Amino acid sequence: MLRLSREKALAVAGKGDLVLGADTTVVIDSAHGGEIAGKPVDEQDARRMLKLLSGRRHEVLTGVSLVLDDRIISEVEVTQVEFAPHDRYRNRLVHLDGRTDG
């Protein structure tokens, strides 16, 4: 994610431009080795991922890069996040086509 934050900033930076790039990765159940959560490929995969996150603490890692000409400053921020149990938000799930459950 740190590499991607740099690449994103560099992709749009012009001479004299101050550009901030960022990228985020979620590590599910990081206390037990963790699984990196990618972007869901479809609605079924999104539901699977929400169930994995449900009622668990996980880490959100955000890479941030600040670019000005040939200077780059990059850092990673780690945030601990705890999801509510699945049944507390399941009825509010918004489908990819705009429909909502409930």
Model pLDDT for residues 38-61, shown as the tens digit of each residue: 888 988 888 888 888 888 888 999
* Rounded Cα–Cα distance for residues 76 and 70 (Å): 20
List average pLDDT for each run of 10 residues in the chain, which is 102 residues long. Answer: 94 94 88 80 84 87 95 95 72 58 52
Q: Catalytic annotation on 23?
A: yes
CATH number of residue 55's parent domain: 3.90.950.10
| Residue ranges making up the domain that contains 25 | 2-92
78 domain residue, yes or no: yes
Number of domains in the chain: 1
Domain-embedded: residue 98:
no
Q: Tell me which of 23, 29, 42, 87 is the catalytic residue.
A: 23
Half-sphere exposure of 68 (CA within 13 A, CB side): 3
